[in-house]
Structure 1
Amino acid sequence: MRQALTATEFNFPGQTGVYHGKVRDVYSIGDLLVMVATDRISAFDVVLPKGIPFKGQMLNQIAAKFLDASSDICPNWKLATPDPMVTVGVRCASYPVEMIVRAYLCGSAWRAYKSGVREICGVKLPDGMRENEKFPLPIITPTTKAELGLHDEDISKDEIIKQGLVSADEYAVLEKYTLALFARGTEIAAERGLILVDTKYEFGKYDGKIYLIDEIHTPDSSRYFYAEGYQERFEKGEAQKQLSKEFVREWLMDNGFQGKEGQKVPEMTEEIVTGISERYIELFENITGESFDKADTTNISERIEKNVLNYLATR
């Protein structure tokens, strides 16, 4: 079985700190961030016990592609990708909210709606909607950014501004960027025969400007439907064929796990891990339209360290 990178402990020249997130390890070097997309996988805000081979590479390369494809909309943090699992960029002061945008009623929003909820993050929803139904216009349903091990919490635009998390003027810019990025992602997805259903964006500030940070339009942060057959499945009330991490959540839920206290993560057999890896490769190839070129996994940490050091030496 291929190796998976689940932990990193680098010490780069000039390093001033490191943050270990759910799936990414972020190293600070002056005004630079070295973000390593590990093979860890999380669901329901819980990091699962086994890594998924090539997952980090896929997410990093998808994010790099979409950051480049949207750099005319707003500035973003990316400077270079010196390794298949690494992006280096400018260090921004991040906003403590995630901008989630939804074009269809599904996932957690549908689960809430089905239970009787008719307002999500201050956005009122009409009665009579069905699962996977398209909204007249995309809606923004922000969340707070939780620390590792804690759950992100839904929050309204009004509460964000009232609590001083983001100023009214800056929130207007985040909203504008969010909708424009989503429109661009929707266009690119349509060219691939896909529907961009929902996604999240994170922003920060650098040198007085608002920057797009972190990943965008990856299957970890986004949900895609296949366009072909969408309408027919919707009319019949059938599940949509989709590209997202939802299949992992569904496997967990089918085995009695939703991240709640007292619940135990089901056993991740080699067969399960390999299956998830293969699904991620399918996601990569469908989203990008490119064949996935597996990087050498003989010694991932050594490879990353060498590539990052070479990049830093050229700056």
Structure 2
Amino acid sequence: MAYSFLEKEIKRTFQGLPETLPCGSRVFSGKVRDIIDLGDTLVISTSDRISAFDRVLSTIPCKGEVLNKVALHWFSRTEDILPNHIIESVTPRTVAVRKCEMLPVEVVVRGYLTGSAWRDYKAGKPVSGIALPSGMQMNQRFETPLITPSTKAEQGLHDEPISSEEILRQGLVDPAVWDTVQKAAIALFRRGTDDCARQGLILVDTKYEFGILNGQVYLVDEVHTPDSSRFWFADSYDQQFRAGKDPHKLDKEYLRQWLMDKGFMGDGEAPEIPDEVRIETARRYVGAYEGITGTTFTPEAGGLDEVAAVDEYVKKMR
């Protein structure tokens, strides 16, 4: 996967929208996305910023466009399971969406014992309040997917696991809504698992976010993207697992692993990420796009004046 265009694209990564658009509209920035609130509608632009361990660290060429296009692919593939917030595309990295009341928890669904779930399990801790059977191995597949919710922390802080029982006890989500969300999350994960399997990929785990609009639960934010999900290559999983080796991965775990090898896990000063690591991370993102969608990625956003395009759309919609 050479993707020689990344050498050009790294020189024009998109840091994000300015705090205020030329038309005067204010921009609210998260770790990766920039949002303009137009009342009933939000305009969401996905930058090339990359975060790991809840810290914004650098930019990755084509990342925002990849994330936006992968999310749109999955929103289209899952609209029969649950309605989503998408209204229309504005640019290759920007969409207009329905404004929903966001649920105060993220819904993580896990198909395999890996990542933070494995670290908790190895330390003898329950995973989001779930006691797992003894004797499980790292990267082992669960018989049925697990829902392991987490809190939504402020930027710069860490999300924390929370059990379904605690969500209901604290009154964070209405019980009927939570029941709908859990059923939808499992259905979404199974759809993603089946689609990825046809492309030779394993959907390992993922994060969903949900919102409420007019009493209806909506799927919002992003779906099965390299930022919200882990993917492994299916053809080598069994062999790697039996050998006790890490699966071959297709996601930003490459960057997380590079950071951990440098001794960084979110605390203290982050190491500077060299261009070769940024480009290799971009290759993983583009490869994920092509692996998931079965189509060739052609960069469109790099030569676009994103600020002008979003500004023009906002002026039209106000």
Secondary structure, in 3 states, of the residue corresponding to 1:234? helix
Q: 1: CA distance between counterparts of 2:262 and 2:154?
A: 26
Q: 2: CA distance between counterparts of 1:77 and 1:279?
A: 27
> Which residue matches 1:65?
73
1:274 aligns with 2:274: no
* Contact 1:2-1:297 within 8 A present in 2 as well: no
Alignment deviations for residues 6-40 of structure 1 (CA, whole Å, 9 cap, x no partner): 1312538695x542111001111120011100000
1:205 aligns with 2:226: no
- Runs of 4+ deviating beyond 6 Å: none
Q: 2: CA distance between counterparts of 1:90 and 1:78?
A: 6
- Give the residue type in structure 1 aligned to 2:119: R
* Contact 2:149-2:163 within 8 A present in 1 as well: yes
Q: 1: CA distance between counterparts of 2:296 and 2:173?
A: 40
* Contact 1:94-1:204 within 8 A present in 2 as well: yes
Cα displacement (A) at 1:287: 1.5
Alignment deviations for residues 66-106 of structure 1 (CA, whole Å, 9 cap, x no partner): 00110010111011112110111100010000000001000
Stretches of structure 1 that go unaligned for 5 or more consecutive residues are none
Secondary structure, in 3 states, of the residue corresponding to 1:73? coil
> Which residue matches 1:98?
106
1:248 aligns with 2:263: no
Q: Tell me the number of residue pairs that the alignment of Structure 1 and Structure 2 aligns.
A: 308
Could you tell me which of 15, 21, 43 is aligned with 1:11? 21
Cα displacement (A) at 1:2: 2.7
Q: 2: CA distance between counterparts of 1:151 and 1:215?
A: 19
Alpha-carbon spacing, 1:267–1:73, altered in 2? closer, same or farther (3 Å):
same
Alignment of 1:1-315 (within 5 A): 1-9=10-18, 10-11=20-21, 15=25, 18-48=27-57, 50-117=58-125, 119-260=126-267, 263-298=268-303, 300-302=305-307, 304-305=309-310, 308-309=313-314, 312=316
Stretches of structure 2 that go unaligned for 5 or more consecutive residues are 1-9
- Give the residue type in structure 2 aligned to 1:85: R
Q: 1: CA distance between counterparts of 2:232 and 2:312?
A: 36
Superposition TM-score, scaled by structure 2 size:
0.92
Secondary structure, in 3 states, of the residue corresponding to 1:256? coil
Q: 1: CA distance between counterparts of 2:309 and 2:105?
A: 30
Q: 2: CA distance between counterparts of 1:232 and 1:289?
A: 25
* Contact 2:128-2:149 within 8 A present in 1 as well: yes
Q: 2: CA distance between counterparts of 1:26 and 1:162?
A: 32
* Contact 1:102-1:140 within 8 A present in 2 as well: yes
Cα displacement (A) at 1:301: 2.8
- Give the residue type in structure 2 aligned to 1:11: L
Alignment deviations for residues 162-199 of structure 1 (CA, whole Å, 9 cap, x no partner): 11110111110110110111111111101101111100
Superposition TM-score, scaled by structure 1 size:
0.93
Secondary structure, in 3 states, of the residue corresponding to 2:11? coil
Secondary structure, in 3 states, of the residue corresponding to 1:229? helix
Q: Percent identity?
A: 44
Secondary structure, in 3 states, of the residue corresponding to 2:197? helix
Secondary structure, in 3 states, of the residue corresponding to 1:75? coil
Alpha-carbon spacing, 1:304–1:275, altered in 2? closer, same or farther (3 Å):
farther
Q: 2: CA distance between counterparts of 1:245 and 1:131?
A: 19
Q: 2: CA distance between counterparts of 1:113 and 1:271?
A: 34
